[in-house]
A and B are shown apart, each in its own frame.
Chain A
Amino acid sequence: MAKENVSKNHVLKKVIGYGLLTAALYAAVFLNSTTVLKLCAKGGVYAVFPIALAFVFSFAHGAFANYLWQFLGIEALKQPKVEAEKTAEVAKRPEVRRRARVQA
């Protein structure tokens, strides 16, 4: 029980940490939207700018979303779902060798 609480607190810390980071990133972009849009509209080598932003946001917000669902108890089932279609393995029959018998 105590271990579970520690784990839940750890997840909550991550939710808050990544949540703040995400909020700060969004605030930075939307408070400076004129500059940001000007850079994006330039094109050419400035293409790096929107692409890099998308990567940074996917890392921060992606991590936040992951820990948020975890904190809310929405998690994947533990059992592995992918059970690749296994070709039916035919159980090997024990090799039966007839012994030579001497008929009297």
Chain B
Amino acid sequence: MQDLFNSANFIDLDTWSVLFLVIVGFVGGLVSGFIGSGGAFVLTPGMMSLGVPGPVAVASNMCHKFPKALVGAYKRWKYGQVDIKLGIAMAIFASGGVQVGIKIQHMVLEKWGKAGSNLYVSAAFIVILLTVGGYVLWDAYKSVRGNNVVKVEKRTSLAQKLQSINLPPMIYFKTANVRISLWIVLPVGFATGMLAATIAVGGFIGVPGMIYIIGASSLVASATELVVAFIMGLGGSINWAMHGLVDIRLTLLILLGSLLGVQLGAIGTTYVKEYMIKVVMGTIMYISGRQ
């Protein structure tokens, strides 16, 4: 057993570690169920703080991500919030973005070494989380201050303009109630994948992109992001598992908490006004970026 732990970097688990993983999993699940993403940036550092090596932490986290997203997406689909077609389109383009994101990471690593790579990731983290998170928070503040009795969000003028561009192939996304060119969906999905490859949380671009560029409501965007997370998580997990880096014990312990959390988060979306998703997402992004 000890050999196995030494060779494959699998850690020994004590009671504290088990409890920690279940609790962090619950919190991550709660956030994911509500805003569609955001669990990874809590869970990966959490596992690494227990002494789990980086690649094993990323692999085990990703292997927990797709079943959690599957359960969350199913739950929110039952509430009529998921646009499966939009989710699949986003995931396809995001997969391309992941590949390019990984190549850029390798290039940065080769050219500027580990310090340069860390600087690149940190800079992307700070710039994207602060700018996008700040904008989401500002927009949510406008909704709260301006008209908090309106249940249905207004589409942004940017989304309306982009929807009016008649560039084939045009696709109609039924649940999102959006008819838009696939050429507009492509960069949003691509950027989601690139961010996922850079800071491991693609949803922080995917959800705001679906809201402000494609024109979906916060509720539909956050629910659809779970479909994207499922498809991308499954692909990533297969890749990591083929390298033998998934510590299934860690995955299952996180799942123990996160499957409870993700369903609670999904239930929570039926009680709140739509802008609350923006409030929570913007706050998490902004705080993470500042830290």
Contacts and interface: CB of A to CB of B under 8 A. Distances in A.
A34 B155 CA distance: 54
A51 B4 contact: no
A75 B247 CA distance: 33
B255 A34 contact: no
B149 interface: no
Given A34-B1, A41-B4, A69-B267, A54 B244 contact: no
Interface stretch (B65-73, B106-114, B134-142, B183-191): B65-73
Interface in B187-216: none
A102 interface: no
B252 A40 contact: no
A85 B155 contact: yes
Interface stretch (B75-83, B84-92, B93-101, B281-289): B75-83
Contact of B260 (A53, A68, A75, A80): A68
Interface stretch (A5-13, A25-33, A92-100): A25-33
Contacts of B155: 85
Contact of B270 (A54, A69, A81): A81
A57 B4 contact: no
How many A residues are at the interface, by size bracket? 35 or more
B237 interface: yes
Contacts of B119: none
Contact of A50 (B1, B175, B217, B241): B241
B176 interface: yes
Given A54-B255, A57-B67, A84-B217, A41 B244 contact: yes
B10 A50 contact: no
Main secondary structure of the interface of B (DSSP, over half): helix
B154 A85 contact: yes
A67 to B, nearest CB: 10
Interface string A59-103: 001100110110000111101111111100000000000000000
A26 B247 contact: no
23 contacts: A34-B1, A36-B248, A38-B4, A41-B8, A41-B244, A44-B244, A47-B238, A49-B241, A50-B246, A50-B251, A51-B63, A51-B234, A58-B71, A61-B255, A62-B70, A65-B260, A69-B267, A74-B264, A76-B266, A80-B79, A81-B269, A84-B220, A85-B152
Interface of B: 1, 4, 7-8, 10, 63-64, 66-68, 70-71, 74-75, 79-81, 151-155, 175-177, 217, 219-220, 234, 237-238, 241-249, 251-252, 255-256, 259-260, 263-264, 266-267, 269-271
Interface of A: 26, 29-30, 33-34, 36-38, 40-44, 46-47, 49-51, 53-55, 57-58, 61-62, 65-66, 68-69, 74-77, 79-86
